[in-house]
Structure 1
């Protein structure tokens, strides 16, 4: 099984990615769009959830391959950040070396190092001609021309030049909305370990740009939340990461939240 989480997800890109991976591996990938205002937080939580889902099989499963591409060209790296790979048990992940994207698997799964590659070095070692090396290294669409090759080489057990590199420890940041699901539930990127019956001050963004602090009650699970009322519950993502919900409604809509937003009262100072 091959899953590709990427911020290159328009119809043209999806068609090209599907064909290239299908040709290399003999099967088309499941392409997951990392869209919205904060694709990094979406990708981080989705990667963690995908890898944790492998532990819930209850029996021996097939090896999987997950590709991940979140690569803004911010000028720090020539032609974008490098690509890396790591294994989680018998499962392979090939990804851009984006420390925020890797932060949750670092914190929750103990993936504290990855193997970072240099495109020119890796493609040269694979026997490509100089002109092909430069084409692959210099393309705008490296996640099409290089990342699937990297995954294929590692999956096949071929030696790939790479440098073992530490994944920085995540900062102890405020909880951030990583994903807004189709119900409008706001999935956070951490577990808050709150006691049912207590309240949490949540920063609600208003249409006029102001912020209102709303004390939201914590509940043990979604069905304990009164209908049409907000609640804080342990969610289904991560290791029971916290979610802001409205039973029967959209918490994201009611609180004006989107991926990348901080949740707590102290976030109001940043919004005001």
Structure 2
């Protein structure tokens, strides 16, 4: 069995029940469902996907293969019935995902996942031998992340041939660092390492000077600080030890955080 994590913006109680039941019927176990919620689910999904894959490293042993599913459902009119789904491997770990440049941006940049295999639902389900009525149901449904994405993950995990086109992941990068995740402490996890050294002082867009510290416990209580955080490959976090940086700075996921070196007074 594969441990399964499902990151999705379809996370209400009804959706969770159906996702858990369908994946349980396919794999013999239900997934851990992670809600990609908030004002910018794609930035949350991008960092969470990267963190899930990084969490498989440094185990001290071989460990087990994992499956991570990712669903972000923009309906922007570019694709018939929504964005297609794709899959890729990171070592022995499988990811089946919405083909979203932003959601895949951090695994592209940090892990070198430059190409993925994009599928067409109707073509894939037809190749799997489904009856015409079932093909129409799966290809035409609004809830494709329920009816199709788990099937795609199961077929690829089982080594079955799935019609797919190897496709480059478009490179994206915001000019300013972006708050990708606000954790339950109110720490703002950025989408990159700012390359700061402890003692550096920078001015953030909100007009406050913030000092870089070596770790969280070095930040004075009730004081903002920038530290090397727990996510990504040492991505910077804006924190307030004993308080919420998100509340103090008025930040939400998806918000840019422009920084500049503060002027030093002699």
Query: One fold, TM greater than 0.5?
Result: yes
Secondary structure of the structure 1 residue equivalent to 2:46: helix
Measured after TM superposition, the shift of residue 131 of structure 1 is 1.6
Answer whether contact 1:67 1:94 (CA < 8 A) is retained: yes
Unaligned residue ranges in structure 2 (runs of 5+): 261-266
Residue 221 of structure 1 is matched in structure 2 by: 215
1:56 pairs with one of 44, 54, 58: 58
Measured after TM superposition, the shift of residue 250 of structure 1 is 0.2
Deviations 1:28-53 (A, max 9, x none): 00000000000000000000000001
Measured after TM superposition, the shift of residue 129 of structure 1 is 1.4
1:130-209 alignment to 2 at 5 Å?
130-171=132-173, 173-204=175-206
Measured after TM superposition, the shift of residue 87 of structure 1 is 0.3
Measured after TM superposition, the shift of residue 172 of structure 1 is 5.3
Output the CA distance in 1 between the equivalents of 2:259 and 2:65: 43
1:117-128 alignment to 2 at 5 Å?
117-128=119-130
1:246 pairs with one of 240, 243, 248: 240
CA RMSD of aligned residues (A): 1.0
TM-score by length of 1: 0.93
TM-score by length of 2: 0.95
Ranges of 4+ aligned residues in structure 1 off by more than 3 Å:
none
Answer whether contact 1:203 1:255 (CA < 8 A) is retained: no
Output the CA distance in 1 between the equivalents of 2:91 and 2:127: 26
Output the CA distance in 2 between the equivalents of 1:170 and 1:199: 28
Q: Are 1:75 and 2:82 counterparts?
A: no
Answer whether contact 1:106 1:170 (CA < 8 A) is retained: no
1:15-54 alignment to 2 at 5 Å?
15-54=17-56
Secondary structure of the structure 2 residue equivalent to 1:236: coil
How many residues of Structure 1 are paired with residues of Structure 2 in the alignment? 258
Residue 269 of structure 1 is matched in structure 2 by: none
Range with bigger deviation, 126-135 or 181-190:
126-135
Output the CA distance in 1 between the equivalents of 2:203 and 2:76: 35
Answer whether contact 1:183 1:249 (CA < 8 A) is retained: yes
Deviations 1:179-217 (A, max 9, x none): 00000000000001102111111123xxxxxxxx11111
Secondary structure of the structure 2 residue equivalent to 1:55: coil
Output the CA distance in 2 between the equivalents of 1:135 and 1:172: 38
Q: Are 1:262 and 2:264 counterparts?
A: no
Measured after TM superposition, the shift of residue 153 of structure 1 is 0.4
Unaligned residue ranges in structure 1 (runs of 5+): 205-212, 267-272
Output the CA distance in 1 between the equivalents of 2:55 and 2:212: 26
Range with bigger deviation, 71-80 or 11-20:
71-80
Residue 115 of structure 2 is matched in structure 1 by: 113
Secondary structure of the structure 2 residue equivalent to 1:56: coil
Secondary structure of the structure 2 residue equivalent to 1:18: helix
